[in-house]
A and B are shown apart, each in its own frame.
Chain A
Amino acid sequence: MPLNPNIAALRSQIAAAHGGGRARAPVLSLGDAGIDTAFQQGGLPLACWHEFGGEGMEVETCAAPAAFAARIAASLAAKGEVVWVLRRDDLYAPGLAHLGFPAERLIQVCAVSESQALAVLEEALATPGVAAAVGEVETVSLIAGRRLQLACEKSGAAGLILHRRPYGGQRKSERPGSAAASRWKITSAPSVPAAGSPGLGAARWDVELVRCRGGRQGAWTVEEAHHGPHPFRLVAPLGDRHLEAPLLKAG
């Protein structure tokens, strides 16, 4: 799609203002033009950090956001190690392998406190040879977020922050501001098994891009893609929909 030159010029000015005049960072395509164009850079920007959260029970277990982040990290693992910083040691490596994550690239760190987890994340992100760092923390303050951002820019690694209260309890009030490049809300979505096959279908998630620096918001339903270059496949709004039971009966 040819862009209006004026708009293109404006966009480059905005990009320069946001990126501090640095060269354009590499991006990760999420597998569909609809999602990728929500970002100003044309894909998930890598040299910055993104936050993922869930709702309800997932605030404590954080399984769907972790699965989504693991699929993204799996695409990055070819470039280096992935450091996964935990507060509660319940991440199961064979499960990551099942999601297509190369478990031999994984280094797990179990931190004793929130501040220690953030410090470990910052150190890991600033290390060359680390492609991505996943951190399970409750909240990231503005200062901590800024420090994470500087660490990401230093080495070009991607930070994936999962918001999780590992031992339950009352949720802290969310601060409005954040230094993250994007904020996602991830919930599991009902899968659709292929016609005639028993059991579960490929895992699906309802993903909502709540905040996106320099980009647009959006909500999609994606399905894990085991084959091909991209981590996800967009579920077509009409064709892939699960038919509701009453409709089946009526048909």
Chain B
Amino acid sequence: MISALVLPDRGVRRLYAVSAAASDLGLFPGQKAADAGALVPELTLADADPAGDAEALHALTLWCARFSPAVATDAPGGIFLDIEGLSHLWGGEAELMEDLADRLTAQGINSRAAIADTAGCAWAMAHFGEDRAIVSSGEQQEALAILPVRALRLVDEDAAQLTRLGITRIGHLAALPRGQVTRRFGAGILMRLDQAMGLAPEALAFRRPPTPWFERLALVEPVSTPEDMARITADLCALICARLAGSARAARRFEIAFHRVDGKIQSIDLGLSALGRDVKILTRLFAPKLEAIDPGFGIEAATITARDVEMRGASQVQLTGGETENARVAVACLIDSLANRLGQDRIWRPSPVQSHEPERAVVKSAPGAAPGSGWDSDLPRPLRLFPHPELIDVTAPLPDDPPVLFRWRGRVHRVRLAEGPERIGREWWRGPISEVSTDQVRDYYRVEDETGGRFWLFRGGLNGAGYFPKWWMHGMFG
């Protein structure tokens, strides 16, 4: 059927797209509709609908997500699929492309496809090369050499100028000295060439995965007072929490973004120690963070996003032991409130680590996590452990005995009672074997001075020929 779509262009109706039959008769896009009608009287004309086309292409892009999670629309009529690492699911790249083309044909969509290392090369092959071509890795140069320069996605003027100069093939262009091409045409042509060859990066706007846990509040009038922002926060929390509760889910992280009139976005976020969807708690935790928001000339919209969403059913109301549950929730709220105000690293539960080194025996774990315990309460360990052992002067009658006298922080302590040694070696398997030596052995003594002060001292290293070990203060028992 001889048909074409027309689109008004600066007051002139021009052909926008032509059917294959019309193309055979010499009609081409961009021709005046009146001329075309005169040449081919039986031409059927219809109005083009670019917006509708774009919408349909977008829908098709979403459908292509069945092949790859990373799909990008390439207006006006193309789609990029990143198939890195997933073609084996179809048995190979050729099979994947076969399946894609067959499914498109079944929907009545004519398509051309190509697979290549770079988006530019795949585009060129799909538009100007052999249909369903697969360019092997690193062979872009050979594959592209015979294609016309228009295959590089150049602007029309550049392509026309190159063709006028006799540079019709990409191979000719690639052979030219780069400096001259840049001087004559600017950097655009070479950038496209490099992108096709894989020498320059190219960012594609891949479809973003939909975030269903998102709510938006548009305001009729811009607001800027703290009270209004608090109310917006409460409303947003209520919106997202109602949706979370409706689908039996809860989230661990929330983010509110305030869109200002001048186009800037200010956001605050919140992390919870446990899954949460309580409006009151969220509002209260957000409240102190609102102070950091500068509303500028006003805020016209606000959005809330919930992340780390997981399933959580409604909580069981207990007949007995409700107090315990309330207390548990209250402690979780306290932890969240402190962690969000002071910082995540300023609140922790100490957890045991299987290590003999005193400094390594404790690790700071998240306060919301299940508490752990496992230290041997029979081992004498000080209440205060100094992060850096402090050097002390000692008087010891025998090299292997605990000291009878030591000076620490400018005061002399006479040792009345001593207990030990408890020998703790360094964990040699953590470092290079060449660094292991007896200098790193520590002999710990628990000593008590004449006033009752109880200290944890150690001697670093063993007595040897010409080596006099030093003594260190490492902690206090109190």
Contact = CB atoms under 8 A, between A and B. Distances in A.
Among A95, A100, A107, A191, max chain B CB count under 10 A is at A95
A68 B342 CA distance: 28
Interface residues of A, number: 58
B13 interface: no
Interface stretch (B204-212, B226-234, B324-332): B324-332
A57 interface: yes
B453 interface: yes
A188 B453 contact: yes
Given A67-B478, A94-B379, A188-B454, A193 B384 contact: no
Query: Interface residues of B toward A: which range?
Result: 35 or more
B419 A200 contact: yes
Given A95-B383, A104-B372, A188-B453, A120 B342 contact: yes
B338 interface: yes
A94 B381 contact: yes
Nearest to B476: A63
A198 to B, nearest CB: 7
B477 A190 contact: no
Given A91-B384, A128-B327, A200-B446, A98 B478 contact: no
Contacts of A89: 387
A64 to B, nearest CB: 4
B411 to A, nearest CB: 7
Contacts of B386: 90
Chain A contact surface mostly: mixed
A203 interface: yes
Interface stretch (B34-42, B156-164, B343-351, B462-470): B343-351
Interface in A50-66: 57, 61-66
A66 B375 CA distance: 19
B385 interface: yes
Given A107-B367, A128-B327, A92 B384 contact: yes
B383 A91 contact: yes
Contacts of B454: 188, 191, 200, 203
A106 interface: yes
A190 B450 contact: yes
A9 interface: no
B380 A106 contact: no
Nearest to A189: B452
B409 interface: yes
B476 A123 contact: no
Contacts of A191: 417, 448, 452, 454
Interface in B324-368: 326-328, 330-331, 333-335, 337-338, 342, 346-350, 352, 358, 361-362, 364, 367
A193 B417 contact: yes
A105 interface: yes
B45 interface: no
27 contacts: A57-B409, A57-B411, A62-B384, A66-B384, A68-B478, A83-B334, A90-B384, A92-B383, A93-B350, A94-B352, A94-B358, A95-B383, A98-B378, A106-B350, A107-B347, A107-B349, A109-B342, A120-B338, A120-B342, A124-B338, A129-B326, A130-B330, A191-B417, A191-B454, A193-B417, A198-B419, A203-B454
